Structure 1
Amino acid sequence: MYLKIYKNGENVLVAACDKEVLGKTLKHGNAVVEIHKSFYEGECVSEEELKEALQNATTANLFGEKTIKCAITCGFIDSESVIMIDCVPHAQIFRL
């Protein structure tokens, strides 16, 4: 999994995706979602490293089966909040 962390003051954005979906363009109806390398490609991390990053995140944008499974297993998202975009699971986390 790739992980990139963006910090702006107290806000922490975690962008994470599976290696297999990095750089892909996904289509859903008229919507197009690009999993840009410039946004997602950071360090290759383990599930434990992703879990640690998500613990500190105020916002997260997640794509891919492994990434989503890790976030569900660690209790950060509910499986019912996952959507499929062009057969790729996606979820977002927002902490207010």
Structure 2
Amino acid sequence: MFLKIHHSPEMGDVVAVCDRELLNTTITHGDLRVTVTEGFYGTTHADEAAVTEALLRGDNVNLMGERAVGVAVKMGLITRADCIMIGSVPHAQIYRL
């Protein structure tokens, strides 16, 4: 997986995680097109432990892909029903208010 933490005074820490094979690809579903970029998801490789730690600290979370979503499901932060599918790729966002 790839992990990037964006620090924002307005939004707190935004944690972005995507599966390795999705980086620098465009996912489509009908008219919807989502490009998974290094600018947002970063280029830092992260294992499950690093992703888990980041998800515990993040104020907002953006997850793209089976493995990325699977970590949050395993932690009990979301369920599969909380995800949307973009083509065959699960995507979830978590906001802590």
2:42 aligned partner, one-letter code: E
Structure 2 counterparts to residues 11-26 of structure 1, below 5 A: 11-26=12-27
Is there any run of 5+ residues in structure 1 with no aligned partner, and where?
Answer: none
| Displacement after TM superposition at 1:11 (Å) | 0.4
Q: Output one character per residue of 1:71-96: Cα deviation in whole Å (capped at 9) or x when no partner.
A: 10011211110111011111101111
1:63 aligned residue: 64
**What TM-score, normalized by structure 1, do the two folds share?**
0.93
- CA distance in 1 between partners of 2:78 and 2:7 (Å): 21
Q: Output one character per residue of 1:25-69: Cα deviation in whole Å (capped at 9) or x when no partner.
A: 111221111101221123111111101101111111111111111
| Displacement after TM superposition at 1:8 (Å) | 1.6
- CA distance in 1 between partners of 2:73 and 2:40 (Å): 22
Give me the CA root mean square deviation. 1.2
Is there any run of 5+ residues in structure 2 with no aligned partner, and where?
Answer: none
Structure 2 counterparts to residues 1-96 of structure 1, below 5 A: 1-9=1-9, 11-96=12-97
Over 4 Å off, 4+ runs: none
**What TM-score, normalized by structure 2, do the two folds share?**
0.92
More deviation, 16-25/38-47: 38-47
- CA distance in 2 between partners of 1:91 and 1:26 (Å): 14
